[in-house]
Protein backbone atom coordinates (compact mmCIF):
# COMPACT_ATOMS: atom_id res chain seq x y z
CA UNK A 1 0.00 0.00 0.00
CA UNK A 2 1.35 3.44 -0.96
CA UNK A 3 1.95 5.87 1.92
CA UNK A 4 -0.63 8.56 2.65
CA UNK A 5 -1.23 11.27 5.23
CA UNK A 6 -3.66 10.54 8.02
CA UNK A 7 -5.08 12.57 10.89
CA UNK A 8 -3.37 11.43 14.08
CA UNK A 9 -6.62 11.46 16.08
CA UNK A 10 -7.94 7.86 16.25
CA UNK A 11 -11.53 9.12 16.40
CA UNK A 12 -11.18 11.16 13.19
CA UNK A 13 -8.95 9.30 10.72
CA UNK A 14 -9.32 11.76 7.82
CA UNK A 15 -6.90 11.04 5.00
CA UNK A 16 -4.89 13.32 2.72
CA UNK A 17 -2.67 12.71 -0.29
CA UNK A 18 1.09 13.08 0.06
CA UNK A 19 1.14 16.01 -2.36
CA UNK A 20 -1.33 18.09 -0.33
CA UNK A 21 0.21 20.94 1.64
CA UNK A 22 -1.44 20.40 5.01
CA UNK A 23 0.03 20.38 8.50
CA UNK A 24 -3.11 19.68 10.50
CA UNK A 25 -6.42 17.96 9.89
CA UNK A 26 -9.03 20.12 8.17
CA UNK A 27 -11.77 18.25 10.04
CA UNK A 28 -10.54 18.16 13.63
CA UNK A 29 -7.33 20.21 13.79
CA UNK A 30 -5.06 17.36 14.96
CA UNK A 31 -1.57 16.87 13.54
CA UNK A 32 -1.03 14.52 10.61
CA UNK A 33 1.26 11.56 10.15
CA UNK A 34 2.53 9.63 7.18
CA UNK A 35 1.05 6.13 7.22
CA UNK A 36 3.39 3.45 5.86
CA UNK A 37 2.80 -0.23 5.45
CA UNK A 38 5.59 -2.69 6.15
CA UNK A 39 3.53 -5.85 5.79
CA UNK A 40 5.75 -7.19 3.01
CA UNK A 41 9.03 -6.31 4.71
CA UNK A 42 11.68 -9.01 4.97
CA UNK A 43 13.59 -8.02 8.12
CA UNK A 44 16.64 -10.20 7.46
CA UNK A 45 17.00 -8.93 3.93
CA UNK A 46 16.62 -5.30 5.06
CA UNK A 47 19.24 -5.67 7.78
CA UNK A 48 21.79 -7.09 5.38
CA UNK A 49 20.96 -4.54 2.67
CA UNK A 50 21.48 -1.66 5.14
CA UNK A 51 24.70 -3.27 6.34
CA UNK A 52 26.01 -3.60 2.77
CA UNK A 53 25.24 0.05 2.04
CA UNK A 54 27.72 1.04 4.76
CA UNK A 55 30.52 0.20 2.35
CA UNK A 56 28.86 1.88 -0.65
CA UNK A 57 30.05 5.23 -2.00
CA UNK A 58 26.69 6.18 -3.56
CA UNK A 59 25.53 9.56 -2.12
CA UNK A 60 22.27 8.18 -0.72
CA UNK A 61 23.97 5.20 0.90
CA UNK A 62 26.48 7.52 2.59
CA UNK A 63 23.60 9.24 4.42
CA UNK A 64 22.58 7.76 7.78
CA UNK A 65 18.99 8.64 6.93
CA UNK A 66 18.65 7.51 3.33
CA UNK A 67 20.62 4.32 3.89
CA UNK A 68 17.37 3.23 5.55
CA UNK A 69 15.17 4.57 2.73
CA UNK A 70 12.88 1.51 2.73
CA UNK A 71 11.54 2.95 6.02
CA UNK A 72 10.82 6.30 4.30
CA UNK A 73 8.82 5.16 1.28
CA UNK A 74 7.21 8.58 0.70
CA UNK A 75 10.10 9.34 -1.68
CA UNK A 76 9.62 7.50 -4.95
CA UNK A 77 11.97 9.63 -7.08
CA UNK A 78 15.27 9.41 -5.21
CA UNK A 79 16.83 11.99 -7.56
CA UNK A 80 14.91 14.64 -5.55
CA UNK A 81 16.61 13.82 -2.26
CA UNK A 82 18.53 16.69 -0.61
CA UNK A 83 21.33 15.28 1.53
CA UNK A 84 24.44 16.84 3.09
CA UNK A 85 24.89 13.90 4.16
CA UNK A 86 23.51 13.45 7.67
CA UNK A 87 23.22 10.81 10.37
CA UNK A 88 26.02 8.28 10.89
CA UNK A 89 26.34 9.66 14.40
CA UNK A 90 28.33 7.81 17.06
CA UNK A 91 27.03 5.74 19.94
CA UNK A 92 29.37 6.29 22.89
CA UNK A 93 29.86 4.27 26.03
CA UNK A 94 30.07 6.77 28.87
CA UNK A 95 31.21 5.02 32.07
CA UNK A 96 31.72 8.21 34.08
CA UNK A 97 28.26 9.44 33.25
CA UNK A 98 26.85 5.99 34.08
CA UNK A 99 28.51 6.11 37.48
CA UNK A 100 27.12 9.61 38.12
CA UNK A 101 23.63 8.36 37.29
CA UNK A 102 24.00 5.25 39.46
CA UNK A 103 23.96 2.88 36.49
CA UNK A 104 26.28 0.03 35.57
CA UNK A 105 26.47 1.31 32.00
CA UNK A 106 25.10 4.08 29.81
CA UNK A 107 25.30 4.87 26.11
CA UNK A 108 24.89 8.20 24.37
CA UNK A 109 23.71 8.45 20.77
CA UNK A 110 25.23 11.80 19.85
CA UNK A 111 23.17 13.65 17.25
CA UNK A 112 25.42 16.69 17.61
CA UNK A 113 27.76 14.96 15.12
CA UNK A 114 25.44 15.94 12.28
CA UNK A 115 26.31 18.48 9.52
CA UNK A 116 24.75 21.41 11.42
CA UNK A 117 25.46 19.87 14.83
CA UNK A 118 22.03 18.71 15.96
CA UNK A 119 19.45 15.95 15.55
CA UNK A 120 17.36 18.30 13.41
CA UNK A 121 19.35 17.32 10.30
CA UNK A 122 17.87 13.81 10.34
CA UNK A 123 14.40 15.29 9.93
CA UNK A 124 15.33 18.27 7.79
CA UNK A 125 16.79 16.20 4.97
CA UNK A 126 13.37 14.53 4.65
CA UNK A 127 11.39 17.77 5.08
CA UNK A 128 13.40 19.69 2.48
CA UNK A 129 13.24 16.69 0.13
CA UNK A 130 9.44 16.81 0.38
CA UNK A 131 9.57 20.58 -0.32
CA UNK A 132 11.63 19.80 -3.45
CA UNK A 133 9.14 17.10 -4.52
CA UNK A 134 6.33 19.64 -4.13
CA UNK A 135 8.28 22.23 -6.15
CA UNK A 136 8.35 24.76 -3.30
CA UNK A 137 10.67 27.77 -3.61
CA UNK A 138 10.51 29.11 -0.02
CA UNK A 139 10.67 27.21 3.23
CA UNK A 140 10.29 28.56 6.75
CA UNK A 141 10.50 27.64 10.41
CA UNK A 142 10.34 29.11 13.89
CA UNK A 143 13.21 27.96 16.00
CA UNK A 144 15.00 28.07 19.32
CA UNK A 145 18.20 27.63 17.28
CA UNK A 146 18.93 24.17 15.95
CA UNK A 147 16.02 23.89 13.52
CA UNK A 148 16.96 27.24 11.98
CA UNK A 149 20.57 26.25 11.31
CA UNK A 150 19.43 22.96 9.84
CA UNK A 151 16.75 24.46 7.61
CA UNK A 152 19.14 27.18 6.43
CA UNK A 153 21.74 24.60 5.40
CA UNK A 154 19.38 22.24 3.57
CA UNK A 155 17.56 25.09 1.84
CA UNK A 156 20.91 26.48 0.68
CA UNK A 157 21.99 23.06 -0.56
CA UNK A 158 18.79 22.70 -2.58
CA UNK A 159 18.60 26.27 -3.92
CA UNK A 160 15.47 27.26 -1.99
CA UNK A 161 15.11 30.41 0.11
CA UNK A 162 14.97 29.81 3.87
CA UNK A 163 13.00 32.17 6.09
CA UNK A 164 13.81 31.82 9.74
CA UNK A 165 11.94 33.24 12.70
CA UNK A 166 13.75 33.45 16.02
CA UNK A 167 12.77 34.72 19.46
CA UNK A 168 14.79 37.97 19.73
CA UNK A 169 17.57 37.82 22.31
CA UNK A 170 17.10 34.13 23.10
CA UNK A 171 19.20 32.47 20.51
CA UNK A 172 22.68 31.02 20.96
CA UNK A 173 25.26 32.68 18.70
CA UNK A 174 26.53 29.34 17.43
CA UNK A 175 23.15 28.88 15.77
CA UNK A 176 22.47 32.43 14.60
CA UNK A 177 25.91 32.34 12.97
CA UNK A 178 24.97 29.24 10.96
CA UNK A 179 21.66 30.70 9.74
CA UNK A 180 23.40 33.87 8.56
CA UNK A 181 26.27 32.03 6.90
CA UNK A 182 23.91 29.72 4.99
CA UNK A 183 22.10 32.77 3.62
CA UNK A 184 18.73 32.48 5.34
CA UNK A 185 16.43 35.48 5.66
CA UNK A 186 16.64 35.71 9.45
CA UNK A 187 13.87 37.49 11.31
CA UNK A 188 14.14 38.06 15.04
CA UNK A 189 10.71 38.60 16.60
CA UNK A 190 10.14 40.09 20.01
CA UNK A 191 8.03 37.19 21.24
CA UNK A 192 8.61 33.69 22.54
CA UNK A 193 8.73 30.48 20.46
CA UNK A 194 5.08 29.53 21.07
CA UNK A 195 3.77 32.98 20.09
CA UNK A 196 5.85 33.11 16.91
CA UNK A 197 4.81 29.61 15.82
CA UNK A 198 1.13 30.62 15.91
CA UNK A 199 1.85 33.62 13.69
CA UNK A 200 4.05 31.76 11.22
CA UNK A 201 1.50 28.96 10.76
CA UNK A 202 -0.95 31.59 9.48
CA UNK A 203 1.56 33.47 7.34
CA UNK A 204 2.99 30.35 5.70
CA UNK A 205 -0.43 29.26 4.47
CA UNK A 206 -1.23 32.76 3.20
CA UNK A 207 2.05 33.33 1.37
CA UNK A 208 2.61 29.83 -0.03
CA UNK A 209 5.71 29.20 2.08
CA UNK A 210 6.37 25.58 3.06
CA UNK A 211 6.56 25.24 6.84
CA UNK A 212 9.26 22.97 8.20
CA UNK A 213 8.66 22.97 11.91
CA UNK A 214 8.07 19.55 13.45
CA UNK A 215 4.33 19.90 12.74
CA UNK A 216 5.50 18.89 9.27
CA UNK A 217 4.94 15.11 9.12
CA UNK A 218 7.81 14.54 6.66
CA UNK A 219 10.33 15.87 9.15
CA UNK A 220 9.12 13.22 11.58
CA UNK A 221 9.73 10.57 8.90
CA UNK A 222 13.39 11.59 8.67
CA UNK A 223 13.80 11.81 12.41
CA UNK A 224 12.75 8.16 12.80
CA UNK A 225 16.18 7.26 11.42
CA UNK A 226 17.82 8.22 14.74
CA UNK A 227 16.36 5.20 16.50
CA UNK A 228 16.81 2.96 13.46
CA UNK A 229 20.53 3.76 13.33
CA UNK A 230 20.86 3.43 17.11
CA UNK A 231 19.37 -0.07 17.04
CA UNK A 232 21.51 -1.09 14.09
CA UNK A 233 24.61 0.06 16.00
CA UNK A 234 23.47 -2.08 18.91
CA UNK A 235 23.17 -5.14 16.68
CA UNK A 236 19.35 -4.75 16.92
CA UNK A 237 19.45 -5.38 20.67
CA UNK A 238 16.63 -3.27 22.13
CA UNK A 239 17.66 -1.33 25.26
CA UNK A 240 15.51 -1.31 28.39
CA UNK A 241 15.21 2.47 28.23
CA UNK A 242 15.69 5.25 25.69
CA UNK A 243 15.91 8.72 27.24
CA UNK A 244 15.61 12.04 25.42
CA UNK A 245 14.88 15.71 26.16
CA UNK A 246 11.45 17.11 25.32
CA UNK A 247 10.60 20.59 24.04
CA UNK A 248 8.09 20.88 21.22
CA UNK A 249 7.87 17.06 21.42
CA UNK A 250 8.55 16.24 17.78
CA UNK A 251 11.50 14.03 18.64
CA UNK A 252 9.64 11.72 21.02
CA UNK A 253 6.83 11.53 18.44
CA UNK A 254 9.36 10.44 15.81
CA UNK A 255 11.06 8.00 18.15
CA UNK A 256 7.75 6.34 19.01
CA UNK A 257 6.71 6.11 15.37
CA UNK A 258 10.11 4.70 14.40
CA UNK A 259 9.90 2.02 17.07
CA UNK A 260 6.31 1.09 16.15
CA UNK A 261 7.30 0.70 12.51
CA UNK A 262 10.46 -1.30 13.25
CA UNK A 263 8.33 -3.61 15.37
CA UNK A 264 5.64 -3.90 12.67
CA UNK A 265 8.32 -4.69 10.06
CA UNK A 266 9.75 -7.44 12.28
CA UNK A 267 13.12 -5.71 12.67
CA UNK A 268 12.84 -5.77 16.47
CA UNK A 269 10.80 -8.13 18.61
CA UNK A 270 10.38 -6.03 21.75
CA UNK A 271 10.01 -2.37 22.62
CA UNK A 272 12.01 -0.24 25.08
CA UNK A 273 10.51 2.04 27.70
CA UNK A 274 11.10 5.75 27.15
CA UNK A 275 11.76 8.69 29.43
CA UNK A 276 11.23 12.27 28.26
CA UNK A 277 13.05 14.92 30.31
CA UNK A 278 12.05 18.57 30.47
CA UNK A 279 13.58 21.60 32.17
CA UNK A 280 11.61 22.42 35.34
CA UNK A 281 10.86 25.99 34.15
CA UNK A 282 9.40 24.74 30.85
CA UNK A 283 7.73 21.47 31.75
CA UNK A 284 4.08 21.40 30.60
CA UNK A 285 4.39 17.79 29.42
CA UNK A 286 5.78 16.62 32.75
CA UNK A 287 2.83 18.35 34.46
CA UNK A 288 0.40 16.63 32.07
CA UNK A 289 1.73 13.23 33.14
CA UNK A 290 1.65 14.20 36.83
CA UNK A 291 -1.83 15.73 36.81
CA UNK A 292 -3.58 14.12 33.83
CA UNK A 293 -6.25 15.81 31.72
CA UNK A 294 -5.22 17.99 28.79
CA UNK A 295 -1.98 19.88 28.40
CA UNK A 296 -1.93 23.25 30.13
CA UNK A 297 0.65 25.54 28.54
CA UNK A 298 3.35 27.23 30.59
CA UNK A 299 2.82 30.88 29.69
CA UNK A 300 6.33 32.11 30.50
CA UNK A 301 8.67 29.21 29.91
CA UNK A 302 12.15 29.74 31.36
CA UNK A 303 15.36 27.75 31.20
CA UNK A 304 18.97 28.29 30.20
CA UNK A 305 18.51 25.18 28.05
CA UNK A 306 17.06 27.49 25.38
CA UNK A 307 16.52 24.62 22.92
CA UNK A 308 13.68 23.33 25.10
CA UNK A 309 12.33 26.66 26.28
CA UNK A 310 8.85 25.86 24.98
CA UNK A 311 5.67 26.25 27.01
CA UNK A 312 3.03 25.07 24.55
CA UNK A 313 4.41 22.03 22.72
CA UNK A 314 2.55 21.56 19.50
CA UNK A 315 3.06 17.76 19.28
CA UNK A 316 1.86 16.95 22.79
CA UNK A 317 -0.98 14.66 21.74
CA UNK A 318 1.28 12.58 19.50
CA UNK A 319 3.92 12.54 22.21
CA UNK A 320 1.43 11.53 24.91
CA UNK A 321 0.22 8.64 22.82
CA UNK A 322 3.77 7.42 22.03
CA UNK A 323 4.91 7.69 25.67
CA UNK A 324 1.89 5.71 26.88
CA UNK A 325 2.37 3.11 24.15
CA UNK A 326 5.97 2.62 25.31
CA UNK A 327 5.12 2.51 29.07
CA UNK A 328 7.13 5.69 29.36
CA UNK A 329 7.67 8.34 32.01
CA UNK A 330 8.20 12.09 31.93
CA UNK A 331 10.60 13.81 34.32
CA UNK A 332 11.70 17.38 34.97
CA UNK A 333 15.09 18.63 36.17
CA UNK A 334 16.43 21.88 37.60
CA UNK A 335 18.93 24.28 36.06
CA UNK A 336 21.56 23.10 38.56
CA UNK A 337 20.95 19.45 37.70
CA UNK A 338 21.25 20.18 33.96
CA UNK A 339 24.45 22.20 34.37
CA UNK A 340 26.17 19.55 36.51
CA UNK A 341 25.08 16.70 34.24
CA UNK A 342 26.45 18.59 31.26
CA UNK A 343 29.85 18.94 32.91
CA UNK A 344 29.87 15.22 33.78
CA UNK A 345 29.15 14.34 30.14
CA UNK A 346 32.03 16.66 29.24
CA UNK A 347 34.34 14.67 31.50
CA UNK A 348 33.61 11.65 29.32
CA UNK A 349 35.13 13.60 26.42
CA UNK A 350 31.68 14.24 24.99
CA UNK A 351 30.42 17.78 24.43
CA UNK A 352 26.71 18.48 24.54
CA UNK A 353 24.39 21.43 24.86
CA UNK A 354 22.28 21.97 28.00
CA UNK A 355 19.05 20.54 26.58
CA UNK A 356 20.87 17.31 25.72
CA UNK A 357 22.37 17.06 29.20
CA UNK A 358 18.87 17.10 30.69
CA UNK A 359 18.86 13.39 29.76
CA UNK A 360 21.62 12.48 32.22
CA UNK A 361 20.09 14.65 34.94
CA UNK A 362 16.76 12.91 34.37
CA UNK A 363 18.28 9.42 34.35
CA UNK A 364 20.01 10.13 37.67
CA UNK A 365 16.70 11.20 39.19
CA UNK A 366 14.86 8.18 37.80
CA UNK A 367 17.51 5.77 39.11
CA UNK A 368 17.32 7.37 42.55
CA UNK A 369 13.54 7.06 42.51
CA UNK A 370 13.83 3.36 41.62
CA UNK A 371 12.07 3.82 38.27
CA UNK A 372 15.17 2.84 36.30
CA UNK A 373 16.99 -0.21 37.73
CA UNK A 374 20.76 0.29 38.32
CA UNK A 375 21.58 -2.60 35.99
CA UNK A 376 19.21 -1.43 33.23
CA UNK A 377 20.47 -1.10 29.68
CA UNK A 378 19.99 2.62 28.98
CA UNK A 379 20.63 4.67 25.82
CA UNK A 380 20.18 8.43 25.84
CA UNK A 381 20.02 10.78 22.88
CA UNK A 382 22.30 13.80 22.98
CA UNK A 383 20.46 16.13 20.67
CA UNK A 384 22.96 18.93 20.11
CA UNK A 385 26.59 19.99 20.30
CA UNK A 386 28.60 21.75 23.01
CA UNK A 387 29.72 24.50 20.64
CA UNK A 388 26.21 25.86 20.19
CA UNK A 389 26.59 27.95 23.32
CA UNK A 390 30.18 28.31 24.59
CA UNK A 391 29.13 31.25 26.76
CA UNK A 392 27.07 28.94 29.00
CA UNK A 393 30.02 26.58 29.30
CA UNK A 394 32.49 29.31 30.22
CA UNK A 395 30.14 30.77 32.80
CA UNK A 396 29.56 27.41 34.44
CA UNK A 397 33.24 26.54 34.70
CA UNK A 398 34.20 29.98 35.95
CA UNK A 399 31.44 30.14 38.57
CA UNK A 400 29.39 32.87 36.87
CA UNK A 401 26.34 30.95 35.65
CA UNK A 402 22.96 32.11 36.95
CA UNK A 403 19.44 30.76 36.47
CA UNK A 404 16.91 32.85 34.50
CA UNK A 405 15.64 34.16 37.86
CA UNK A 406 19.20 35.21 38.77
CA UNK A 407 19.95 32.47 41.31
CA UNK A 408 23.59 31.40 41.25
CA UNK A 409 24.33 27.95 39.80
CA UNK A 410 27.10 26.12 41.69
CA UNK A 411 29.96 25.06 39.45
CA UNK A 412 30.12 21.65 41.12
CA UNK A 413 32.41 20.26 38.44
CA UNK A 414 33.92 23.65 37.53
CA UNK A 415 37.19 23.88 35.64
CA UNK A 416 38.10 27.57 35.51
CA UNK A 417 41.06 28.69 33.42
CA UNK A 418 44.11 29.75 35.43
CA UNK A 419 45.91 33.00 34.69
CA UNK A 420 49.57 33.29 35.68
CA UNK A 421 52.33 35.85 35.21
CA UNK A 422 55.03 35.13 32.63
CA UNK A 423 57.17 33.44 35.28
CA UNK A 424 58.79 30.06 34.66
CA UNK A 425 59.06 29.14 38.33
CA UNK A 426 55.46 29.98 39.05
CA UNK A 427 54.20 27.96 36.07
CA UNK A 428 56.38 25.02 37.06
CA UNK A 429 55.07 25.18 40.59
CA UNK A 430 51.49 25.22 39.26
CA UNK A 431 52.16 22.16 37.08
CA UNK A 432 53.69 20.27 39.99
CA UNK A 433 50.76 21.14 42.28
CA UNK A 434 48.15 20.08 39.73
CA UNK A 435 49.87 16.83 38.69
CA UNK A 436 47.57 14.46 40.52
CA UNK A 437 44.29 16.32 40.26
N1 LIG B 1 17.31 19.23 22.16
C2 LIG B 1 17.74 20.16 21.31
C3 LIG B 1 19.20 20.41 21.20
C4 LIG B 1 16.80 20.90 20.55
O5 LIG B 1 17.23 21.84 19.70
C6 LIG B 1 15.42 20.66 20.72
C7 LIG B 1 14.43 21.41 19.98
C8 LIG B 1 15.05 19.65 21.62
C9 LIG B 1 16.02 18.96 22.31
C10 LIG B 1 13.64 19.28 21.83
O11 LIG B 1 13.16 18.52 20.79
O12 LIG B 1 11.16 19.89 20.25
O13 LIG B 1 11.47 17.62 19.29
O14 LIG B 1 10.96 17.91 21.72
N15 LIG B 1 14.68 22.44 19.29
C16 LIG B 1 13.76 23.13 18.42
C17 LIG B 1 14.46 24.15 17.57
C18 LIG B 1 12.52 23.58 19.04
O19 LIG B 1 13.83 25.13 17.17
O20 LIG B 1 15.63 23.95 17.25
P21 LIG B 1 11.59 18.47 20.50
Convert the pLDDT of each residue in 178-193 to its tens digit.
999 999 999 999 999 8
Q: Are 16 and 22 in contact (CB under 8 A)?
A: yes
> Is 144 close to ligand 1, i.e. is its CB under 6 Å away?
yes
Closest atom, ligand 1, to C-alpha of 213: 19
The residue whose CA is least distant from atom 10 of ligand 1 is: 247
Closest atom, ligand 1, to C-alpha of 388: 3
Residue 284: pLDDT band (50, 70, 90) is: very high
Mean pLDDT of the chain: 96
Buried b (16+ CB within 10 A) or exposed e, 150-183: bbbbbbbebebebbbbbbeeebbebbbebbeebe
> Is 353 close to ligand 1, i.e. is its CB under 6 Å away?
yes
Q: How far is the CA of 310 from the centre of ligand 1 (A)?
A: 9
> Is 118 close to ligand 1, i.e. is its CB under 6 Å away?
yes
pLDDT at 220 over 80: yes
**Per-residue pLDDT, 1:** 86
The residue whose CA is least distant from atom 19 of ligand 1 is: 143
CA distance 44 to 371: 34
CA-based end-to-end distance of the chain: 62
> Is 254 close to ligand 1, i.e. is its CB under 6 Å away?
no
Q: How far is the CA of 324 from the centre of ligand 1 (A)?
A: 21
pLDDT in tens, 59-107: 999 999 999 999 999 999 999 999 999 999 999 999 999 999 999 999 9
Q: Are 122 and 257 in contact (CB under 8 A)?
A: no
pLDDT at 436 over 80: no
> Is 129 close to ligand 1, i.e. is its CB under 6 Å away?
no
Residue 389: pLDDT band (50, 70, 90) is: very high
pLDDT in tens, 392-414: 999 999 999 999 999 999 999 99
pLDDT in tens, 130-164: 999 999 999 999 998 999 999 999 999 999 999 99
Residue among 196, 307, 338 to mutate when testing ligand 1 (max atoms within 8 A of CB): 307
**Per-residue pLDDT, 437:** 65
**Residue 277 CB neighbour total at 10 angstroms:** 33
> Is 150 close to ligand 1, i.e. is its CB under 6 Å away?
no
> Is 179 close to ligand 1, i.e. is its CB under 6 Å away?
no
Q: Are 317 and 334 in contact (CB under 8 A)?
A: no
Q: Are 361 and 303 in contact (CB under 8 A)?
A: no
pLDDT at 363 over 80: yes
CA distance 295 to 392: 30
Separation in Å, CA 207 to CA 120, 134, 156: 25, 15, 20
Residue among 306, 383, 388, 389 to mutate when testing ligand 1 (max atoms within 8 A of CB): 383
Lowest-confidence pick of 185-199, 230-244, 371-385 = 185-199
Q: How far is the CA of 293 from the centre of ligand 1 (A)?
A: 24
The arithmetic mean of pLDDT across residues 354-370, rounded, is 98
Q: How far is the CA of 372 from the centre of ligand 1 (A)?
A: 24
Residue among 146, 252, 286 to mutate when testing ligand 1 (max atoms within 8 A of CB): 146
Q: How far is the CA of 247 from the centre of ligand 1 (A)?
A: 6
Contacts 24+ apart (CB under 8 A), 186-189: 186/148, 187/163, 189/165
CA distance 35 to 5: 6
pTM metric for this prediction: 0.97
> Is 284 close to ligand 1, i.e. is its CB under 6 Å away?
no
> Is 355 close to ligand 1, i.e. is its CB under 6 Å away?
yes
Higher pLDDT, 10 or 255: 255
pLDDT at 280 over 70: yes
Give the phi and the psi of residue 337 in degrees, each rounded to 5: -65, -40
> Is 247 close to ligand 1, i.e. is its CB under 6 Å away?
yes
User: CA 1 from chain center: how many Å?
Assistant: 30
Q: How far is the CA of 246 from the centre of ligand 1 (A)?
A: 7
> Is 166 close to ligand 1, i.e. is its CB under 6 Å away?
no
Q: How far is the CA of 434 from the centre of ligand 1 (A)?
A: 39
- Per DSSP, 293 falls in state S
Give the phi and the psi of residue 136 in degrees, each rounded to 5: -75, 150
- Per DSSP, 160 falls in state P
Count of positions (residues) in the chain = 437
Q: How far is the CA of 7 from the centre of ligand 1 (A)?
A: 23
Residue among 275, 304, 308 to mutate when testing ligand 1 (max atoms within 8 A of CB): 308
CA distance 146 to 39: 35
Amino acid sequence: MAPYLSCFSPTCGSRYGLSEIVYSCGDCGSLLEVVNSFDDADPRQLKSLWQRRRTSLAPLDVSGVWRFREMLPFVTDTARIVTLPEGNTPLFDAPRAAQYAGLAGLQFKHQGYNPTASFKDNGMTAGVTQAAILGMRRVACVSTGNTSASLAAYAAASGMQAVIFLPAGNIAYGKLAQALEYGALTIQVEANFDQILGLVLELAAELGIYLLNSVNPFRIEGQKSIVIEMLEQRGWRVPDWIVLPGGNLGNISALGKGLRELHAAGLIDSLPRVAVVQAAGSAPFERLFREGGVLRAVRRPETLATAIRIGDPVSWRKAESEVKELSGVVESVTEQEIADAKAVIGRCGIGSEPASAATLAGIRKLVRAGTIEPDADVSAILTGHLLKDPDYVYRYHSGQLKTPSDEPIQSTFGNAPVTVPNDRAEIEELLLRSADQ
